[in-house]
Amino acid sequence: MDALRRTLLKGAGATGAIAAAIAAGVLKPSQALAAEWNKNAFEARDLAGALKGLGAGGAADSKDIVIKAPDIAENGAVVPVDVASNIPNTQSISVLVDKNPFPLAAHFDFANGALPQVAVRLKMGQTSNIHVIAKADGKSYVAAKEVKVTVGGCGG
Amino acid sequence: MKQRLSTLMAAAVMTAAFAVQAQQPMKKAPPPAKAAAPAKAKDGITAEFEKFREVLEEDNPAELFEAKGEDIWKHKKGPDGASMAQCDLGLGAGVVKGAYVQMPRYFADVGQVMDAERRIVHCMVKYLGYKEEDIRKQPFSNDSKTPDHVSVITYVAAQSRNMKIAVPQKHPKEIETFRIGREIFDYRAGPYDFSCATCHGSDGMRIRTQDLPNLRKPAEAIRAYQGWPGYRMTGGFMLTQQWRMNDCFRQQRFPEPAYLSDSITALLTYMTATANGQVYKGPGIKR
Amino acid sequence: MADPMKIRAQMQGDTADIRVLMSHPMETGQRKDPQGKVVPAHHIQSITATVAGKLVLDGQIGAAVSRNPVFGFKVKGVKAGDKVVITWVDNKGDKRTDEATIG
C-alpha cells in the first residue's frame, strides 16, 4: 500500500497512468488511498498523541513556516488558515488545532511541482493554538499561532 | 425621550452584555455605544473580521448552492414537461440576468406584487410540480437540508451580481405595497413595543460589536439587502432574505409571519426600493 | 450522489492557482440532533489532485475541516490547458471526482 503511495508521489513513469486510472474510476481511490488515512494520528485526542502519530514528536521550531490565520476568528465554524513552508524540500504539511477534541485537522503531501502551501478552513471549538508541522528531508519542523474564537452575535 | 428609552431597550433586550451597554450610554443616550470607551477595541476586531471576511468571500460555498440551483433551473422538468424557462421573473419568460435586483415587482399574471423568493417558489410550484405545502413545511435551510427553492434563489440572485438595484415603483400596486411596507417598518407592537425603526430608523445605533444601518437612507438600506441570500458559517447552509425578515420579527418578540406573507413582501418592497441605485454584490457569507 | 465540486484553476505567472469547493456535511460525530441523538461522523478523509495526469496533492483530513470544505494550493511547472482532476473519498466510502482545465 505504502509502495503505491510512494510511486504516486515520486511521479515515476507509471504515475500518470495510475492517476488516470483513479480518475476514471478503474482503480478506486477508496482502495488505493483512503485505507491509508492515518487513524492513529487523526484519532489522537491530544497534541502529543497526534504528533506521535505523524512521526513528528521531536519537531524543531522553525521561523520558515508561515501561518496566515486571523488573530480573532469571527466564527469558530469557519476559520481560514493558509500555511506555507519556506523550508527547502518540504514534502508535507500537517495542521493541528491543539484544543480540538481531535487536534489533527489535515495533512498534505506535495509532489510534482506543487508548492508546499495550502489554504484550508477549520472548525475551532475554542480559542487555541494552531500548530503546523512541515517535513523536509526526513526532518520535522513546527510553528504555532494563536487564534481567538468569539461567540454570539446577530444574524447579519 | 421616548425614542431614547427604546434605544436603550434595544441594547438591553438584545445583548447579553446588558450591564456594560446600559451603563455607558445612560448619561447621554444618542449617539449610543459608538462614542463609548470600548469602541476603539471593537473597531480593531471589526477590521480583523473584515480582512478575513474577504478571504472567505473569495471562495464562498454559496457557489455550490448556486450551481445546484442553476441545474434545477436549466434541467429540471415538471410533471407536464414544463421547466423554469417558462418562469417570468419580470423581464420575460426564462430571463434570469438582472431579475433579482428588479424585484419585488407587480406581476400581472397573479395580480399582485411578489418579491424574488415568492416569485421563484410560485414558478417552482407552477412549472416544476413542487407542492407549496411541502415547501412551507421546511421553507428555510437547516443543518441537514437546504431546500431546492433556496438553491434556485441563490442561482437567480447570483445572476444579478454587481448590478444596480432597480425595483420598479410604477404600477399602483407597487406604490401601495411600498407604502404598506413603510408602515410595517414603523409599526410598534409586541411585548417590548418594538418596530423595525427602533433599531434601524435612525443613525448611530449599535448592538454589541455591530453597528446598525439606518434603513431609511439609500446608502445604508443596501446593507439589509447585501449578502443575502447568505451562506451561514454556523451550520454551513444558505439563508434567504425571507428568513432574515422573519428573524427580525423573532428578535422583536413579534409572532413570526407565515412564509411568503404579504407583510414580508411589503417590507422588502419598502427596504429594497429605498436602496434603488445601489450595487448588489451577489450571494454573500454570514456568520 | 454527492453534489459536484467547483474547481477554479488559473495560471498566475508560472504557477497555477487551484481552488476547490466541495459539498460535504463534514459531520464531526460530536454533534447532537434536535432529538438529542448523536449525529454519526461523516467526513471526507482523502483528497487527491492531479494535474496533467500527475499527482500533485495527496491530502488526508479529519472532521475538523469546515463543512463544505474549501482548499487552495499552487502548482509550478504546469500550463494553461492542463487538466486538473480532484477526487475526494469519505469515511463511508462515498466519493466524488471532478475536473477542470487550467485557464
Is residue A26 domain-shared with residue A86, that is, in the same domain? no
| C1 within domain boundaries | no
Residues of B annotated as catalytic are 248
Which of A:45-74 have CB within 8 Å of C? none
Q: Is the Cβ of C31 closer than 8 Å to some Cβ of chain A? A: no
Is residue A87 domain-shared with residue A29, that is, in the same domain? no
- pTM of the predicted protein model: 0.83
How much is the average pLDDT of C72-94?
Answer: 97
Closest among A95, A121, B285, A116 to C70, alpha carbons compared:
A121
pLDDT at B27 over 80: no
CA distance, residue B100 to nearest chain A CA (Å): 20
Question: How many residue pairs from chains A and B have C-beta atoms closer than 8 A?
Answer: 51
Residue B60, pLDDT score: 96
Share of chain B above pLDDT 90, in %: 72
How much is the average pLDDT of B87-107?
Answer: 98
Q: Which domain holds residue A83?
A: 45-149
| A3 within domain boundaries | yes
Paired sense of beta strands C70-76 and A114-122, if any = antiparallel
Task: Provide the number of structural domains found in chain C.
Answer: 1
pLDDT at C32 over 70: yes
Name the more confident of B1 and B229: B229
Q: Classify C3 as helix, strand or coil.
A: coil
ipTM for the complex? 0.95
Q: Is the Cβ of A77 closer than 8 Å to some Cβ of chain C? A: yes
Cα-to-chain-centroid distance, residue B27? 34
pLDDT tier, B43 (very low <50, low <70, confident <90, very high otherwise) = low
Task: Provide the number of structural domains found in chain A.
Answer: 2
Is residue A100 domain-shared with residue A125, that is, in the same domain? yes
User: Which residue ranges form the domains of chain B, and what is each CATH number?
Assistant: 1-17+60-287 (1.10.760.10)
Contact assignment for A114 to C75 by CB distance below 8 Å: yes
Residue B152, pLDDT score: 98
* Neighbour tally for B270: CB within 10 Å: 25
Residue B46, pLDDT score: 76
Give residue-wise pLDDT tens across range B264-284. Answer: 999 999 999 999 999 999 999
How much is the average pLDDT of C7-34?
Answer: 94
| A130 within domain boundaries | yes
pLDDT tier, B117 (very low <50, low <70, confident <90, very high otherwise) = very high
Q: Which residue of A has its CA nearest to C16?
A: A114
Closest among C89, A78, C1, C20 to B236, alpha carbons compared:
A78
Q: Which domain holds residue C76?
A: 6-101
Is residue A18 domain-shared with residue A64, that is, in the same domain? no
* Neighbour tally for C80: CB within 10 Å: 11
Is residue A27 domain-shared with residue A80, that is, in the same domain? no
Contact assignment for C70 to B68 by CB distance below 8 Å: no
Enumerate residue ranges in chain A where pLDDT < 70. Answer: 1-35, 151-156
| A5 within domain boundaries | yes
Q: Classify C67 as helix, strand or coil.
A: coil
Is residue A83 domain-shared with residue A20, that is, in the same domain? no
Cell of A20: 488516470
| C50 within domain boundaries | yes
Q: What CATH number corresponds to the domain at position A129?
A: 2.60.40.2470
| A154 within domain boundaries | no
Contact assignment for C70 to B61 by CB distance below 8 Å: yes
Q: Is the Cβ of A91 closer than 8 Å to some Cβ of chain C? A: no
Q: What CATH number corresponds to the domain at position C92?
A: 2.60.40.10
CA distance, residue A43 to nearest chain C CA (Å): 9
* Neighbour tally for B28: CB within 10 Å: 10
Residue A151, pLDDT score: 60
pLDDT tier, B236 (very low <50, low <70, confident <90, very high otherwise) = very high
Q: Classify C47 as helix, strand or coil.
A: strand
Is residue A61 domain-shared with residue A7, that is, in the same domain? no
Chain A residues whose beta carbon lies within 8 Å of the beta carbon of residue C60: 36-38, 42, 106-108
| C34 within domain boundaries | yes
Chain A residues whose beta carbon lies within 8 Å of the beta carbon of residue B14: 154
Residues whose CB is less than 8 angstroms from the CB of residue B35 and which lie 6 or more positions away in sequence, other chains included: none
Paired sense of beta strands A90-97 and C44-51, if any = unpaired
Indicate the average pLDDT of chain B: 86
Is residue A7 domain-shared with residue A62, that is, in the same domain? no
Is residue A9 domain-shared with residue A84, that is, in the same domain? no
Residue B256, pLDDT score: 87
Chain B residues whose beta carbon lies within 8 Å of the beta carbon of residue A149: none
d(CA C49, CA C93): 18
Is residue A79 domain-shared with residue A140, that is, in the same domain? yes
Give residue-wise pLDDT tens across range B162-198. Answer: 999 999 999 999 999 999 999 999 999 999 999 999 9
Cell of A107: 495533512
Is residue A50 domain-shared with residue A2, that is, in the same domain? no
Contact assignment for A106 to C76 by CB distance below 8 Å: no
Chain C residues whose beta carbon lies within 8 Å of the beta carbon of residue B236: 25-26, 66-68
Chain B residues whose beta carbon lies within 8 Å of the beta carbon of residue A124: none
